[in-house]
Structure 1
Amino acid sequence: MANVQPKEQLVLDGAHEQGFLAFYKGLPEKPNTTVRLFDRGEYYTVHGQDAVLAARELFRTNSVIKHLGGGSNKLESVVLSRLNFESFVRDLLLLKHYRVELYKQKSSSKNDWEAEYKASPGNLSQFEEILFGANNELTVTTGVIGVKLASEGGHRVVGIGYIDANGRQMSVAEFNDSDTFSNLEALVVQLSPRECLIPSGDLGPDGAKLKQVLSRSQLLVSERKRTEFTNKDASQDLSRLLRTKGDASAVAARPEMDRTNAICALAAVIKYLELLGDDSNFAQYTLSMYDLSQYMRLDSAAVRALHVEPISGSVESSGGVSKTHTLLGLLDKCRTPLGHRLLAQWLRQPLVDINKIEERLDLVEAMICTVEMRHSLGEEHLRRVPDLNRMARKLSRKAATLQDCYRLYQCVERLPYLCEAIAKYDGPHTASLAAVFTTPLQELISDLAKYQEMIETTVDMEQANQGEYVIKPDFDETLAELRETMNGLEKDIQNQLRKAANDLCLEAGKSIKLESNAQLGFYFRVTLKEEKVLRNNRSYHMIDTNKAGVRFRNNALQDLNEQHMASKEEYVQQQKTVVEEIMNIAVGYVEVLQNLGQVLATLDCIFALATAAVSAPIPYVRPKLLEQGSGVIKFQEIRHPCLELQDDVSFIPNDCTFDKGNGLFHIITGPNMGGKSTYLRSVGAAVLMAQIGSFVACQEAEISIVDSILARVGAGDCQLKGVSTFMAEMLETATILRSASNKSLIIIDELGRGTSTYDGFGLAWAISEYIAKEISAFCLFATHFHELTALADEVDSVQNYHVTATTAHGALTLLYQVRPGPCDRSFGIHVAELANFPSSVIEYAKRKAGELEDDFGNDDDDSDEAVKKRKLEKQEGEKLIEEFLTKAASLDVDNMSEQDLEIEINKLRDEVKGKNNPYVSRLLSRET
């Protein structure tokens, strides 16, 4: 829905207009992904292409665009109200992943504007109050990575520096990578940064591939000067930013500093985020090595295929579609911003350590078994936990208020009750609950005891409970006098309520009320129905009228209110010294707060997983986990957890069995819309959920831990990135073939549809055979090439399955059941009938299909000689096909463009055609 257009108008006199135009034209050039806004006091403006963007995205009309200047000097301008401004900035940073610069004027008499605030998707700190006020908590992850490529000993080395300004964490990683940058892609999925910095200029032959990988990951990529990627002053800079005590020499001795390329990348991120320019960042960060192998590897294609989280910028991510369409939306029953962020991280970082997974499963099971604990945590305790990470940052920046300190006090006050709620469980997992939650919480309660005592001693609890955050009056003589004065004024104000009620013949506290707020102070209010009593009554003057009623005062209340507000302001000024001292002491609790946040976030995530498991239409079950390499994945009556929640869906579950003796490569055939893709995604989602510690949607599950889930699902073109369907398939499949191990789960859906039938089938066969024979990974391969089912006759590990359908009385009925064996026919025309194709098209399709079947499979000559001849033709043809596939597989596809690859494939095909084999000719005739 379009936003309401602002009433403000940009009005400038001629001199100011010309001066602003000159200033704007003189600004340095910026990328289209940066938007400049100008603070005009009561409203904001955007200009040039930014104005066009605001008109299109915010107002959905160009009629809001006005112009400054004239002729060739004309500049597009759009005015934004404060609400428009906040909405626009939120969309730019959180959905579109743009950068934002806010300019303010230093002097009203001059056009001396300067960029006062800057923000980017990975650094939102300066816009936090706009983006995440009281009603908009920070539930998104933020982070920036720097990438530096190098070559050492003939190997491609990638150095990574990562900073999460929200969590005050730094990580470095350095690893060898393939030419498809599969390790880098897995790391980007796991960390989910919002921005990536790379050195500007030519990055050599790997540069284009690097940018291609990053573009698949929906990152805002920025090129920075190469001179910023240096470790020259890294030790000194880190000694100021890290919590650990020690000078530059002590930092230089840390093992992380040996990762030279990673430290160079980290230095670029530190400079980009301007961390050294803000004293509140000093001694606040941690630095660690990031180990890729501690988590399951997911490529970006698998994240999309399994619908792990909403696609950034999509309708769903902006709240337009049911959140349960993704695994994150389905499982995110968290009550805190801390939990929301951590659960999203868990989904991108599934565990591979069986002991850690079992511990999470124990905690979830304990939560499921104790309804009382789950209810009290969700309804009484967790929902009242503030964003402790954000609060810690405000304290360290000296930007916290007395209200923030009181909210933290309320949180700490609830911790003993939270521990009591956890203690209600007395089952077999008591030790795990104590180790992960109860013991750390009790230690933190002890650490925060002095903080509680300070707040109780200094803050006026009675006033705080009424929304007024002030120091106790008995803390200072002057404060006590002011409090006494204010109490006397409040008694007089209450007397005025009774007098006004008598005067207006209303009932005090009911039909006439005394109210107050921070802006107006005290005032009377009556409903709109009672408004007539004020008409022509000169003793009362109205403040304003809204749907809640009429606000008004008499002269006596006006005088008393002014005295009360003056005393209140004096009270605030008098208590400033005490408040400042409280803040200085509270800063010392920043690290404790961050530790408390980690414990409560984990508790919230366990609560969410347990709630999701018990609230499903059919409760989820605990999976039985096996060590990596066990070679078994078994699901009984598996369901897709998102699909079963959709309205009017009666989900039909299926079984899935992988084991070394029964085949690890499953080919699934059957009609479109028959459930093949859903079946594949169900298995992938269940394995992913199990390895984050969640129960799964089936009757029984036995899962060998996998080291990665790799996917090739869907056939959407990427024309905006210059990548065709076929090339997208080949790039994703190449990543799978290079990254997969015998402990991986591979999901492939409809490979080979982006090219001709002959080429597509050949590639599908070659890829399937390679995965089944060479990699020996768990693999689900859905295909329309029924001929591919013959692979099961040649490779023992290949098993055929099909989704069932019937065509009784000429009508197609999809049964959505997966059964052993290949599908014996195609149902394409029946599916077209379901889609209401015109009857004339359907009839023609049936006639043409019959002709092709006759051409291919029927021959009037059934003599022994003719049968023998056809058999020889088939043997010769199969040999030609095998030769074609061998030559195709030997092509250097990594170093060939799509056009060159197509030329070489066509040459090989023409070579086969030249043999004039009837069997091959009949196969090729299918293409026409």
Structure 2
Amino acid sequence: MSHIENEEGKPEQQQAFISFYLSMPQQPSTTFRFFDRNDFYTLHGSDAVFVAKEFFKSMSVVKYYCSGSRKLETVSLSKLNFESFVRDLLLFHHYRVELYKSQTGSRNNSSWVLDSKASPGNLTEMEGLLFGNMELVEARGVISIKLSTETKLIVVGIAFGDTILRKLIITDFSDNDHFSNLQAVLVHLSPRECLLMKDNSPQQTRLRLVIERSGISITDCKSADFACKDIAQDLQRLLKFKSGETAHSVLPNEVDHKQSAGALASVIKYLELLSDETNFGQYHLLTFDLTQYVRLDGAAVRALGILPSTNDGSKSHSLLGLLNKCRTSPGQRLLGQWIKQPLINIHKIEERLNIVETFVNNTELRQALHEDHLRKIPDLQRLARKLQQKKATLQDCYKIYLFLNHLPAIQNQLESQEGKCMAVFRELYCCPFKDFEEDFVKFREMVETTLDMFMVENGEFFVRPDFDQDLKELYDQMNELEEQIQKTLPKVCIPFNFSISIIITLGETIFDDHVIYDLSHSHVAWSCVPQPHSYREEKALRNRKDFFTIDTKQNGVRFHNSLLRQLNAKYVAIRLDYEKQQKNVVDMIMDIAAGYSEPLLQMSDVIAHLDVLVAFSVLAVSAPVPYVRPQLLPKGSGIISLKQARHPCMELQENVSFIPNDVNFEQGKSIFHIITGPNMSGKSTYIRSVALNILMAQIGCFVPSEEARISVVDAVLARVGAEDRQLKGVSTFMAEMLETSSILKSVTSDSLIIIDELGRGTSTYDGFGLAWSVSEHVATKVGCYCLFATHFHELTALSGEVQGVNNLQVTALTSDDTLTMLYKVIPGVCDQSFGIQVAALAHFPNHVIEFAKKKVKEFEIFSIDSSEMKGKEDMEPHLKKQKILKEADEIMHNFVEAAQKTCSGSNCLSAFEELKNEIQNNNNIVIKKIISGEQD
């Protein structure tokens, strides 16, 4: 920013723009304002500085608009950079975007108006601009939350709007003060933006913290936006009803859904659904039932790597990336939904598994669908939306036509199969395919009748001239003029004896072997004589009144004459009339095609379902070790048994030979596993592997194990990892406690909990006390499936006090100060963490390692094992040490006195041995270490 440069435009225009820009209302810090300058875009002020630093990584791109002493930072973006940057702002960084256009079209005019805006949850106005040439794989939505204020019980009302899929979802439910159920709903629906009422009540403040921790942008709305008195009238216009239905009949009981009705009103207003008539009669209203799906909290999603993070370098680093073998965009969107909504209904899960098993066992069918048929299917959801908005083109209609022609091949492939899945194939796929073909018979005829298939082969999409009488007449006139021009062009060059290239073009600029043509010079004579003859030809044309030179190039001259120009003018006029009539006919076709959007959406759902299950089968057979079908048991069976379970993402890493392990849960015998072992030994990977196997099974996918018997779980809850949120004033330990508290308030006996290193963020004694208390509560009061990885080796004593608690250890070999991890989980307790050995592996300086060993020995003399804890639980740590030392002093004093009395006779040695054995039987750790020679 050390230099000042004027942006193109007159100084007075820059002054006018600066005055306008400074007069604009102050923008929120989360909003960027772009200005459309026709062929490029600009940002100004703090927005320009941000883009220079974050996008271009250089301040040299910052220029200035100047007005006297006032200077306005300016950065220009090309259209390509604009689209890329705005997509990044909206989809990854969750900013909002506003786009302004000049009312007069002048680049630096002071009359600018807001043309369009977008937010992370509402991309409607910029959807065509940002995703015109690419597919939007992930659906986006906005959620609204309204809390009850009438009773002490927290009642949460939810409304979710998705403008891509045209769905409105509502639900009401009771929740605790940690909003545990709400966190699960946020995971299931995955909104990008949340509408909240402006309110400073304690409930609303806690709610905001939950939303922010979930990484969702918050938009404040007025309380009037949540008024639901007109909701039935609004839904009457928006919803697509079946015969006999009304808004009142499909809207749930207002008494039971009072909060969600208000939230729904705010969503409709925020998305401006009523301002666009193309939305009328197109939306579906659904009620979300949280009990149908496995509850996943945000901590579990992060800990298990279910969704990819923004810095993932490989798709296989997340479960979604691993499973995504889909060939269609609707399939990828459905997979993203399924992975966040694992099923609880065992019959629905088995149905998916049956289909996947059929594809796994039938290689020919699987490969035909995955490698050939599915990859040819366009994004039917997006095409349906374009039809609804009447923004589709003839090319879009042709894509649907090609899909119709390809559909019978898919149908025949599925119908040719035999076995137990034939009835399911017929119900889920074959029958909908037949219905779809019947619905689109007229559509197929329309495309074949109206589209010029000869032009389609050249990549051009026009209406056949003989489809419309007016179009046919104009087309014939154009052909006649073209014939006249073809005959005239050679005659034009006869007086000069030029070697010419005759080209007839119109419309957009095109490239030929010799020259570029455009609309203004669509029919010209072109001399093909190289330099220096081209200048000689130009001189020959210069003094001829009936000839007009267009331009002179190195390889020739372009020119018109009077007759050619007259013919060209007539041709251009007729061609423009022809294009206008073409547009009228295309608009008529699009009006008819818009009626096919609903069955196209339904077919998109069918194709997506097929695509996801085929992807599951492809993954199952292509893994390093093939996946197996899990045996599912009803919820409450109390058994989870995985043989040789693997982590699906870890086993794909290069140069990794993954060590599989078993896990066995059985109600009443081994329901709570405490896992100990060295650092880096694989404890965290082990507990994650178990959780991922269970989630994959309840999604309907095969699992990375040799054998799997899984009782359906209703929740997967996690306390893994350590991170603070400094901007929110939440420390690492506080974040750990919040997540643990949320687990304890929402867990049931059919849940799976994975806990990794609970209590390490505070003092050893406090951490151990919390770990013991939480473990004992879960094991005795809840009785759910739990994997607890810890370095508190004293916690393993819980297995001797509580039935169902089991100890596991991850093995390692130590020799000559070396540590070799075996990554094998076996029964038992590992009483060391080998932290010093791990530090050595990290190449700590030798003197640091040696000093650490010395300090460890000093502390070990005061360590208290589980047997010595009895009777001393209520003491402070320093008092415990003092008592142990006092006991040791008394034992030694008594030993010396007894030795002096008994060692005076002939039986001195035998008496001394008896005394020695007597004190060895004392349970004092100091005496034990002195006798063993470890007193240093």
The bucket for the TM-score relative to the shorter chain is: 0.7 to 0.9
1:828 partnered with 2:835:
yes
When residues 741 and 581 of structure 1 are mapped into structure 2, their CA distance, relative to the original with a 3 A threshold, is: same
2:322 to 326, 330, 342: 330
| Whole-Å separation in 1 of the counterparts to 2:627 and 2:379 | 30
The one-letter amino acid paired with 1:876 is G
The one-letter amino acid paired with 1:130 is L
When residues 834 and 480 of structure 1 are mapped into structure 2, their CA distance, relative to the original with a 3 A threshold, is: same
Deviations 1:285-306 (A, max 9, x none): 0112111111110000000011
Match of 1:743 in 2: 750
| Whole-Å separation in 1 of the counterparts to 2:551 and 2:848 | 73
Match of 1:302 in 2: 300
| Whole-Å separation in 2 of the counterparts to 1:520 and 1:352 | 59
Q: Which moved more, 1:336-345 or 1:427-436?
A: 427-436
| Whole-Å separation in 2 of the counterparts to 1:495 and 1:650 | 77
Point out the structure with max Rg over C-alpha.
Answer: 2
Match of 1:44 in 2: 41
2:337 to 329, 345, 356: 345
Match of 1:463 in 2: 455
Q: Secondary structure at the match of 1:208?
A: helix
Match of 1:113 in 2: 112
1:595 partnered with 2:595:
no
Pairs within 5 Å for 1:255-654: 255=252, 257-258=254-255, 259-311=257-309, 314-316=310-312, 321-483=313-475, 519-521=508-510, 523-524=512-513, 536=532, 538=534, 569-654=576-661
Match of 1:770 in 2: 777
Using the size of structure 1 for normalisation, the TM-score is 0.85
Instruction: Tell me the CA shift for residue 58 of structure 1.
Output: 1.2
Instruction: Tell me the CA shift for residue 581 of structure 1.
Output: 1.7
| Whole-Å separation in 1 of the counterparts to 2:686 and 2:469 | 74
Match of 1:131 in 2: 130
Q: Which moved more, 1:657-666 or 1:623-632?
A: 657-666
Q: Secondary structure at the match of 2:55?
A: helix
1:181 to 176, 179, 182: 179
When residues 747 and 106 of structure 1 are mapped into structure 2, their CA distance, relative to the original with a 3 A threshold, is: same
Q: CA RMSD in A?
A: 3.4
When residues 647 and 552 of structure 1 are mapped into structure 2, their CA distance, relative to the original with a 3 A threshold, is: farther
| Whole-Å separation in 1 of the counterparts to 2:886 and 2:253 | 60
8 Å contact 1:515–1:525 — kept in the other structure?
no
The one-letter amino acid paired with 1:315 is N
| Whole-Å separation in 2 of the counterparts to 1:163 and 1:801 | 47
Instruction: Tell me the CA shift for residue 830 of structure 1.
Output: 0.8
Match of 2:208 in 1: 211
Q: Secondary structure at the match of 2:861?
A: helix
8 Å contact 1:141–1:192 — kept in the other structure?
no
The one-letter amino acid paired with 1:285 is Y
Instruction: Tell me the CA shift for residue 328 of structure 1.
Output: 0.6
When residues 488 and 302 of structure 1 are mapped into structure 2, their CA distance, relative to the original with a 3 A threshold, is: farther
| Whole-Å separation in 2 of the counterparts to 1:513 and 1:210 | 73
Q: Which moved more, 1:534-543 or 1:564-573?
A: 534-543
Q: Secondary structure at the match of 1:880?
A: coil
The one-letter amino acid paired with 2:197 is P
Q: Which moved more, 1:395-404 or 1:164-173?
A: 395-404
Match of 1:801 in 2: 808
| Whole-Å separation in 1 of the counterparts to 2:308 and 2:633 | 31
Using the size of structure 2 for normalisation, the TM-score is 0.85
The one-letter amino acid paired with 1:280 is T
Match of 2:933 in 1: none
Deviations 1:48-107 (A, max 9, x none): 221122112210112222233368743222111111211111111111111111000102
Instruction: Tell me the CA shift for residue 190 of structure 1.
Output: 0.1
| Whole-Å separation in 2 of the counterparts to 1:691 and 1:848 | 49
Instruction: Tell me the CA shift for residue 624 of structure 1.
Output: 0.6
8 Å contact 1:298–1:708 — kept in the other structure?
yes
8 Å contact 1:748–1:780 — kept in the other structure?
yes
Instruction: Tell me the CA shift for residue 449 of structure 1.
Output: 1.2
| Whole-Å separation in 2 of the counterparts to 1:496 and 1:657 | 90
8 Å contact 1:542–1:551 — kept in the other structure?
no
Instruction: Tell me the CA shift for residue 452 of structure 1.
Output: 0.9
Instruction: Tell me the CA shift for residue 565 of structure 1.
Output: 7.4
Deviations 1:763-816 (A, max 9, x none): 000001111111111101100111111111111111000111001233110011
| Whole-Å separation in 2 of the counterparts to 1:249 and 1:73 | 60
Instruction: Tell me the CA shift for residue 717 of structure 1.
Output: 2.0
Q: Which moved more, 1:84-93 or 1:456-465?
A: 456-465
Mind listing any 5+ residue stretches in structure 1 that lack a counterpart? Answer: 1-7, 500-511, 527-531, 858-869, 882-908, 924-928
Aligned length: 849
Pairs within 5 Å for 1:696-735: 696-735=703-742
8 Å contact 2:145–2:195 — kept in the other structure?
yes
| Whole-Å separation in 2 of the counterparts to 1:188 and 1:16 | 48
| Whole-Å separation in 1 of the counterparts to 2:660 and 2:47 | 51
Match of 1:669 in 2: 676
Match of 1:150 in 2: 148
Instruction: Tell me the CA shift for residue 324 of structure 1.
Output: 0.6
When residues 543 and 593 of structure 1 are mapped into structure 2, their CA distance, relative to the original with a 3 A threshold, is: farther
Deviations 1:549-568 (A, max 9, x none): x9999769999999987765
8 Å contact 2:161–2:267 — kept in the other structure?
yes
Instruction: Tell me the CA shift for residue 189 of structure 1.
Output: 0.3
| Whole-Å separation in 2 of the counterparts to 1:620 and 1:514 | 63
Instruction: Tell me the CA shift for residue 248 of structure 1.
Output: 11
1:880 to 851, 858, 874: 874
1:92 partnered with 2:92:
no
When residues 669 and 108 of structure 1 are mapped into structure 2, their CA distance, relative to the original with a 3 A threshold, is: same
Instruction: Tell me the CA shift for residue 395 of structure 1.
Output: 1.6
Match of 1:83 in 2: 80
Q: Secondary structure at the match of 2:669?
A: coil
Q: Which moved more, 1:122-131 or 1:796-805?
A: 122-131
Identity of aligned residues (%): 50
8 Å contact 2:551–2:558 — kept in the other structure?
no
Q: Secondary structure at the match of 2:169?
A: strand
When residues 727 and 70 of structure 1 are mapped into structure 2, their CA distance, relative to the original with a 3 A threshold, is: farther
| Whole-Å separation in 1 of the counterparts to 2:793 and 2:43 | 58
Q: Secondary structure at the match of 2:99?
A: strand
Deviations 1:500-532 (A, max 9, x none): xxxxxxxxxxxx999999722462279xxxxx9
When residues 679 and 413 of structure 1 are mapped into structure 2, their CA distance, relative to the original with a 3 A threshold, is: same
Q: Which moved more, 1:74-83 or 1:213-222?
A: 74-83
The one-letter amino acid paired with 1:400 is A
Match of 2:495 in 1: none
| Whole-Å separation in 1 of the counterparts to 2:353 and 2:118 | 39
| Whole-Å separation in 2 of the counterparts to 1:700 and 1:303 | 25
| Whole-Å separation in 2 of the counterparts to 1:206 and 1:80 | 44
Match of 1:171 in 2: 169
When residues 182 and 563 of structure 1 are mapped into structure 2, their CA distance, relative to the original with a 3 A threshold, is: farther
8 Å contact 2:349–2:698 — kept in the other structure?
yes
Deviations 1:438-477 (A, max 9, x none): 1111111111111111111111122123211111222134
Instruction: Tell me the CA shift for residue 609 of structure 1.
Output: 1.1
| Whole-Å separation in 2 of the counterparts to 1:563 and 1:671 | 87
8 Å contact 2:334–2:609 — kept in the other structure?
yes
Q: Which moved more, 1:280-289 or 1:654-663?
A: 654-663
When residues 211 and 543 of structure 1 are mapped into structure 2, their CA distance, relative to the original with a 3 A threshold, is: farther
The one-letter amino acid paired with 2:115 is E
Match of 2:158 in 1: 160
